[in-house]
């Protein structure tokens, strides 16, 4: 049987007409007790209204833009639908709600008779103590207007901006990010701006000591938007003398920032940001829900909004910047998903290694910029492997070097590149650069990630030398001892996973090269020789090529020739 619970806006202090800025659930959604249902935002604080019970949302009584006050009906929740009896009565304020009393606090006091520099203090913020400063929105020397936010505090339950009570210049910041503050702590000094001249305190003789919102000094009782940082302010330039401690025009409307702002809803449905950042995003036309947050608990900082806008602008500009790129529209990609994985189970977060970060950026560019196609071929290496094993056996007895399949692959690739020179080229604007040297890179698996050492002038080296050099370079790569020069100048890359296994794969071209050969583990396969199936050792090859330079016919010719070479290396002498 249904057990409908009415959810109402709890005691939010003197706030009235607070707009609903986000609906965090829809009808039919299942919610847990304390899950946020809607977000309200006053001038100074963002507040979420949580569900008092677990259940299913059967009706939403609000829409975005509606203005609410204490007692406004938010939603109906069927607590029985969650198989749970209502845990709290309708309209119950969350258990954690602080019960701050509206106070006629005077958070701002003039420090001296000169009265041109005022102290900005933490106003009455209810029962909150040790509230951390999470963002400084100004720096010393900044000019601020009355009501501009100076910094943001964030408790477990709410985010609060501290506005400047006056127009002026920030002369001192007494706190830094991470400091914990409580009511009365001096946060900053602001030199009062008179007649539009920052810091011109001439004539401003009065002590500014009590709170009044700039916009509504005469409507104290009816204008609760002064919010958290009720502050003293001259109503107009030069009128500071009109305000004195105890003036009736003071206001300290106190939001009881009672509602939790669960950080874990950032990932899915709603954004976690201070009012000032929300306002900033709105001014730029940015949907804040799309901006990934880099602050504590995934909070969206002003810099995140800026970075997001920058990303969108440069993505839009990219096609124009690329010559001969037509009228493409750029990569209008979704932002990377920001997910709190710990919601689903235990996790361990490790920073990406430097190599992974660098190679990741390169691979991403190559993946999106190269029209790459992968072509597969099988090479019969029965005889080559038998030869390699036999030579290695003989050499072992004589204490000589070991031949590797990689060395033969390098030798065969060089020969195929000589026959098909497009494989040894790079695109440079409208030109194709054809190289006369043969430097071969090979992917080496290292504890820190993938590295690609380069064997220089491979055409002039024999297979023993190639085996020795690749072995040494791979060892240096694993030990992190490669020098930058060891990884530069490659014409073509081989990625050999044969020692590990696999059948085929599609390697990513290593720009500005135009092709890469992937190699997997050879395996005995039955091959039809015209009369019968014969067991042959087959090596799977996967050649990825840049289609702007190498078309399918050329790629397949290269692959066929490479397979012929590996089947019978005598062909390389022809
Ligand atoms: N088929 C069957 N066996 C193979 C083989 C193949 N294609 N290639 C190598 N093997 C065998 C070797 O013969 C060797 O066996 P023995 O010890 O009995 O001789 C064993 O596998 C191990 O070889 P290896 O891979 O360590 O040595 P290598 O010289 O063949 O390769 C290197 C060197 C650096 C290419 C390799 O160690 C490596 O790091 N490979 C990974 C490359 C990689 O990560 N590519 C992915 C890039 S894209 O993500």
Given this model, what pLDDT does residue 279 score?
Answer: 73
Given this model, what pLDDT does residue 105 score?
Answer: 34
For residue 444, the CA-to-ligand 1 centroid distance in Å is 9
Q: Measured between alpha carbons, how far is residue 61 from residues 9, 13, 217 in Å?
A: 11, 21, 33
For residue 520, the CA-to-ligand 1 centroid distance in Å is 9
- Tell the residue nearest (CA) to atom 28 of ligand 1: 406
Task: Among 134-138, 192-196, 292-296, name the one with the lowest average pLDDT.
Answer: 192-196
Among 367, 449, 486, 498, residue to substitute to test ligand 1 (most atoms within 8 Å of Cβ): 498
Given this model, what pLDDT does residue 47 score?
Answer: 75
**CA–CA distance, 35 with 444 (Å, rounded to integer):** 49
Q: Give Cα 226 to chain centroid, integer Å.
A: 34
Give me the helix-helix angle, 382-398 and 405-419, nearest 10°. 130
User: Shortest CA distance to 112 belongs to which of 162, 164, 171?
Assistant: 171
For residue 397, the CA-to-ligand 1 centroid distance in Å is 23
Given this model, what pLDDT does residue 40 score?
Answer: 80
For residue 502, the CA-to-ligand 1 centroid distance in Å is 11
Given this model, what pLDDT does residue 44 score?
Answer: 67
At residue 157 the predicted structure's pLDDT band, cuts being 50, 70 and 90, is low
Task: Please state the atom number of ligand 1 nearest to the C-alpha of residue 445.
Answer: 39
Given this model, what pLDDT does residue 328 score?
Answer: 66
Integer-rounded Cα radius of gyration of the chain: 35
Q: With a cut of 90, say whether residue 505 has pLDDT above it.
A: yes
Catalytic (active-site) positions: 547
Q: With a cut of 80, say whether residue 406 has pLDDT above it.
A: yes
**CA–CA distance, 319 with 327 (Å, rounded to integer):** 7
Given this model, what pLDDT does residue 104 score?
Answer: 34
- Tell the residue nearest (CA) to atom 19 of ligand 1: 404
- Tell the residue nearest (CA) to atom 45 of ligand 1: 495
User: Rounded to the nearest 5°, which phi and psi values hold at 380?
Assistant: -85, 105
Task: Please state the atom number of ligand 1 nearest to the C-alpha of residue 392.
Answer: 19
Percent share of the chain, pLDDT over 90:
44
**CA–CA distance, 257 with 98 (Å, rounded to integer):** 7
Backbone angle region of 34, left / alpha / beta, with phi > 0 → left and psi within -120 to 50 → alpha: left
Q: Mean pLDDT over residues 164-177, rounded? A: 91
Residues with C-beta less than 6 Å from any ligand 1 atom: 404-406, 442-445, 450, 474, 495-499, 507, 519, 521-522, 539
For residue 560, the CA-to-ligand 1 centroid distance in Å is 22
For residue 405, the CA-to-ligand 1 centroid distance in Å is 8
Bridge partners (DSSP) of residue 454 are 441
Task: Among 114-123, 196-205, 386-395, 443-452, name the one with the lowest average pLDDT.
Answer: 196-205
Task: Please state the atom number of ligand 1 nearest to the C-alpha of residue 407.
Answer: 29
Task: Among 249-263, 430-444, 476-490, 509-523, name the one with the lowest average pLDDT.
Answer: 249-263
What is the sign, positive or negative, of the torsion defined by CA atoms of 342, 348, 354, 355?
negative
Bridge partners (DSSP) of residue 533 are 528
**CA–CA distance, 431 with 487 (Å, rounded to integer):** 24
Task: Please state the atom number of ligand 1 nearest to the C-alpha of residue 444.
Answer: 39
Q: Which of 32-46, 179-193, 198-212, 482-496 has the highest mean pLDDT?
A: 482-496
| Residues 6+ away with beta carbon under 8 Å from 18 | 9, 12, 40, 41, 42, 47, 67, 68, 69
Given this model, what pLDDT does residue 288 score?
Answer: 81
- Tell the residue nearest (CA) to atom 6 of ligand 1: 498
Question: What's the mean pLDDT when you consider all of the chain?
Answer: 78
Q: Mean pLDDT over residues 201-212, rounded? A: 31
- Tell the residue nearest (CA) to atom 21 of ligand 1: 499
Among 356, 408, 496, residue to substitute to test ligand 1 (most atoms within 8 Å of Cβ): 496
Q: With a cut of 90, say whether residue 396 has pLDDT above it.
A: no
**CA–CA distance, 314 with 267 (Å, rounded to integer):** 25
What are the tens digits of pLDDT across the range 464-489? 999 999 999 999 999 999 999 999 99
């Amino acid at each position: 049987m249904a057990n409908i619970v009415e959810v109402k806006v709890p005691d939010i202090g003197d706030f009235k007409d607070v707009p609903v800025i986000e609906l965090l659930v829809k009808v039919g959604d299942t919610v847990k007790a304390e899950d946020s249902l809607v977000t309200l935002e006053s001038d100074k604080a963002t507040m979420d209204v949580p569900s008092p019970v677990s259940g299913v949302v059967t009706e939403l009584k609000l829409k975005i833009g509606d203005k609410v006050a204490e007692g406004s009906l938010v939603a109906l929740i069927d607590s029985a639908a969650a198989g749970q009896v209502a845990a709290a009565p309708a309209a119950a304020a969350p258990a954690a709600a602080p019960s701050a009393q509206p106070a006629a606090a005077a958070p701002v006091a003039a420090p001296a008779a000169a009265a041109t520099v005022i102290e900005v203090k933490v106003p009455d913020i209810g029962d909150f103590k040790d509230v951390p400063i999470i963002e400084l929105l100004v720096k010393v020397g900044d000019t601020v207007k009355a009501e501009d936010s100076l910094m943001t505090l964030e408790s477990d339950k709410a985010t609060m901006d501290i506005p400047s009570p006056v127009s002026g210049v920030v002369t001192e910041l007494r706190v830094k990010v991470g400091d914990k503050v409580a009511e009365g702590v001096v946060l900053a000094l602001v030199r009062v701006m008179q007649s539009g001249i920052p810091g011109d305190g001439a004539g401003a003789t009065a002590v500014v000591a009590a709170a009044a919102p700039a916009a509504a000094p005469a409507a104290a009782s009816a204008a609760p938007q002064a919010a958290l940082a009720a502050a003293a302010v001259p109503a107009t330039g030069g009128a500071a003398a009109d305000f004195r401690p105890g003036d009736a025009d003071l206001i300290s409307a106190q939001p009881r920032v009672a509602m939790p702002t669960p950080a874990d809803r950032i990932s899915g449905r709603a954004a976690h940001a201070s009012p000032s950042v929300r306002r900033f995003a709105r001014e730029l036309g940015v949907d804040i829900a799309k901006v990934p947050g880099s602050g504590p608990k995934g909070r969206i900082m002003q810099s995140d909004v800026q970075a997001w806008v920058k990303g969108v602008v440069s993505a839009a500009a990219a096609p124009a910047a690329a010559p001969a790129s037509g009228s493409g529209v750029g990569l209008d990609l979704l932002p990377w998903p920001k997910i709190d994985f710990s919601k689903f189970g235990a996790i361990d977060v490790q920073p990406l290694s430097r190599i992974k970060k660098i190679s990741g950026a390169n691979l991403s560019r190559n993946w999106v910029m190269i029209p790459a196609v992968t072509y597969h071929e099988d090479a019969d290496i029965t005889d080559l492997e038998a030869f390699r094993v036999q030579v290695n056996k003989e050499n072992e007895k004589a204490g000589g070097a070991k031949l590797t399949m990689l060395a033969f692959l390098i030798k065969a690739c060089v020969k195929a590149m000589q026959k098909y020179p497009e494989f040894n080229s790079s695109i440079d604007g409208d030109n194709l650069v054809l190289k006369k040297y043969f430097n071969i890179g090979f992917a080496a698996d290292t504890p820190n990630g993938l590295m690609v050492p380069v064997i220089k002038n491979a055409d002039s080296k024999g297979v023993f030398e190639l085996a020795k050099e690749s072995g040494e370079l791979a060892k240096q790569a694993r030990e992190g001892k490669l020098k930058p020069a060891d990884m530069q100048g490659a014409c073509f890359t081989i990625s050999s996973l044969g020692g590990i296994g696999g059948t085929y794969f599609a390697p990513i071209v290593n720009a500005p090269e135009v092709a890469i050969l992937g190699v997997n583990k050879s395996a005995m396969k039955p091959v039809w020789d015209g009369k019968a199936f014969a067991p042959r050792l087959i090596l799977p090859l996967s050649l990825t090529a840049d289609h702007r330079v190498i078309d399918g016919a050329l790629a397949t010719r290269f692959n066929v020739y490479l397979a012929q070479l590996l089947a019978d290396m005598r062909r390389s002498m022809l």
